[in-house]
Structure 1
Amino acid sequence: IQNEYEVCILNTGLDMNKIIKPEISRHNANINYINRSVLFMVLNKSYPNIIKLNKSILRKSDVILTASYGIPRDLLKNNIRGKFVIFTRHGTGDGKFSFNKSLFEYDCVFIPSKKMYDQFREMSILDNLKNYLQIDYCKFDYLFYYPEKNLKNFNNNLPIILYNPHYNKKISSFYKDAENIVNAILESKKYNIILSPHPLVNKWHFFDRIKLHFPKSERLYKDWSSIHKVNFDYMKIADIYLGDVSSSIYEWLYFDKPMIFYNSHNIVWKNNPYYRFWNLGNIAANPEELLVYLDKSINISDSFAKIRKETKEYVFGDIDGKASYRTAAKLYNYLREKII
């Protein structure tokens, strides 16, 4: 799209490093790649410290794109001023944190779906943003770049459950119920289970995670930090999605398979704007209910198939593998008009 300006990627994620480095090599891109993922872990996951230790890079930048909340404030605390800061976000979920008031601090906010645009408008967020860009959902492009390849995690033909709980203790099912959930599924002897929590469970709540104990079983595969957590590999092979509030719920729609949600906190979710995605599957409040819904999902006709299809079309529209290119072109033209 352009070769006038240097592009620099400052990465703080161990799992993302496994994707970013090969992608840069694959496309022979002229990118200054700086990997700070190990340093990020050592510094106790502190974005202010990362910013402090990379002031020289950030001060040279005209535009800073980030998927992290609070970055404009952290830049100001380090006396880094006059930068055009864009919030890219990394999903299109319904959780309350997706509509954080810190969005108003950014010079521009990406809105990656029709659904989120409508939500911003309904919540009176849209008119309070400094600027915004409506874009397509770029992450699905990854599925077009690489040929279909399926992992082989189990030595049997049982249905596979992808259990993908969130990291936030206040709303996640992981810390309170993961042991009971996994044990119940294994004791049923009907399913394999991939336990793949949000990557921040391992990064931010490591000591809480290691307090939990899961049995050894050929039907249980645990993944705390790998490339497969973030590149759709598990979604390709799983038959059922089990989760709570992750934005991955919407990404699962691409694969058109059943999903079940686990309500660990007695959430009154109906008509709650932050739990709209729970209309896409059954809601379990205990292991017994979960097993019933799992059996229904496998053995009985899928009563949520229609609403999943309609929601996918509403949220993402046509998915053609070219969203990243369109977004990059839109961003470049926007910045040419605005600042560079």
Structure 2
Amino acid sequence: MRIGFLFNHHGGHQVAHALPVALELQRKGPRALVSILVSEDCEPEVRRLATAHGGPTPEIVRLRPPSALALAANKATGRAVPADIVSTLHRNLDRFRALDALVVPEKTSLLLKSFFGLNTLKLVHTRHGAGDRAIGFDKASGKFDLVLLSGEKIRDRLAQAELLREDGHAIVGYPKFDIPTRPAGPRLFAKDRPTVVYNPHPSPALSSWYGMGPQLLDWFAKSEAYNLIFAPHVMLFKKRLTASLSPFALGWNYGPRPDHYEHDHMLIDTGSAASLDMTYTDAADIYIGDASSQVYEFIRRPRPCIFLNPRRIAWAGNPDFAHWRAGTVVETMDELAAALAETPRLSAAMHERQEDMFRYSFDLQDRPSSERAAEAILAYMARQ
């Protein structure tokens, strides 16, 4: 059977959620002919992770680029309209048509069936992240032929939304956890202070960046108590204009000038490989964020978390904000300063809660998640 893995996005943050599965399918040998289809933006991260993994690598195919018209439309809208991503799908239909299955970490690829007519192509969704945002459980989430789930939480949310197909899902764990640990590099900071990672999401409806981000950076610039890693979601500053669909909101994105924060206790990284492979969530002692699913990667090792709620969202009891139960929620800079007046410590009760939340989100077993995912794909295709 011919199985393709598609990485067609403006950034490489989705690669680690699916590439380990492609590498595992390749390792299994002749049961599947595997190829990796990449856009120009995603190719460097695909090749970096494939090299780090070692072993046999599937064929990596550079997709035909989007049309000049699509690129112009994308630029004219500040990248708010993904015309280039859709155009790339259109200009490579022959490659997708030659496959039996296409594995994707995103939802735009559903257009291959709904708009471009590739009805016999099986679409497998790895999802990316194990977060709680409503958009992860919208109607599009139930339109894939096979969905690979990180754990019981995702299964339960999809089932509650009546989006789970009996023969079209499998709990496989979290393939991103299978990527090799980055070799220890130089120390991130010269001084031994508690290290905070600030990880705002790009969604203007949910992100703390638009309401508190610059003030937070200014506060840490003056701090003598903490080191700060500013590692936002890599898409936060990729677009001049960001649109949020659920709920609808618009945000103009102007990133911090790195030379404005040239302090030895601040590290600003808006998109390097280290911001993709859990380097910073592993290195930090304290997490500050809002809607990013990376908090679940952070609490793999329980540690203090602070969540920023400048919009004063009524979050308690809302499953879309279940991750905020893993820490303290603050609404203003004064409340954040108070929370950091002394180094936060994790209580025994919060430690246990984070462990429970992690286990509910990730079904990890002795076997690697990528191996379980590969077997789920092969088993599904064998039934077709």
Q: TM-score, normalised by structure 2?
A: 0.78
Residue type of the alignment partner of 1:196: A
The worse-fitting range, judged by mean Cα deviation, of 118-127 and 152-161 is 118-127
Alignment map for 1:188-207 (pairs within 5 Å): 188-205=223-240
Listed as ranges, the matches of 1:1-340 within 5 Å are 1-12=28-39, 14=41, 17-25=43-51, 26-35=53-62, 43=71, 44=74, 45=82, 46-126=84-164, 131-142=168-179, 145-146=180-181, 149=184, 151-205=186-240, 208-210=252-254, 212-213=256-257, 214-298=260-344, 301=347, 304-318=350-364, 320=366, 322-338=368-384
Structure 1 residue runs of 4 or more that deviate by more than 6 Å after TM superposition: 37-42
Q: CA RMSD in A?
A: 2.8
CA contact (8 A) 1:150 1:233 kept: no
The sequence identity of aligned pairs, in percent, is: 22
Per-residue deviation, 1:210: 3.0
* Residue 205 (structure 1) shift: 3.9
Q: What's the offset of the Cα at 1:285?
A: 0.8
Please identify, of 199-208 and 44-53, the stretch whose mean Cα deviation from structure 2 is larger: 199-208
Secondary structure of residue in 1 paired with 2:61? strand
Structure 1 distance, partners of 2:131, 2:336, is: 23
Q: Distance in 1 between matches of 2:127 and 2:298?
A: 18
**Distance of 2:114 and 2:29 partners within structure 1:** 29
Give the letter for the 1:32 counterpart.
Answer: E
- Residue type of the partner of 2:128? H
* 1:166 to partner: Cα distance: 0.5
Task: Look up the SS of the partner of 2:123 in the other structure.
Answer: strand
- 1:314 and 1:80, CA in 2 relative to 1: closer, same or farther beyond 3 A? closer
Q: Which runs of 5+ in 1 are unaligned?
A: none
Q: Deviations over 1:112-151 (max 9, x none)?
A: 2111112222333325x77222211111112xx3376255
Q: Offset of 1:22 from its aligned partner? A: 3.5
2:12 aligned partner: none
The structure-2 alpha-carbon separation of the partners of 1:19 and 1:255, relative to structure 1 and needing over 3 Å to count, comes to farther
Deviation track 1:55-79 (CA, whole Å, cap 9, x = no partner) reads 2211211111111123222454334
Preserved CA contact (<8 Å) 2:201 2:290 = yes
Q: What is the aligned length? A: 334
Measure, in 2, the Cα distance between the counterparts of 1:37 and 1:157: 48
Segments of 5+ residues of structure 2 without an aligned counterpart are 1-27, 75-81, 243-251
Look up the SS of the partner of 1:268 in the other structure.
coil
Amino acid paired to 2:50 = I
Once the two structures are TM-superposed, the CA of residue 39 in structure 1 deviates from its matched residue by 6.5
Q: Is contact 1:141–1:320 with CA below 8 Å preserved after alignment?
A: no
Which deviates more from structure 2 when the two are superposed, residues 53-62 or residues 273-282?
Answer: 53-62
Instruction: Give distance in 2, aligned partners of 1:97 and 1:281.
Output: 23
Q: Deviations over 1:77-100 (max 9, x none)?
A: 334342111111011111111101
Compute the displacement of 1:335 (Å). 1.0
TM-aligned CA deviation for residue 156 of structure 1: 1.0
Task: Give the whole-Å Cα distance in 2 for the aligned partners of 1:38 and 1:71.
Answer: 16
Letter in 1 for 2:221: L
| Greater per-residue helix proportion | 1
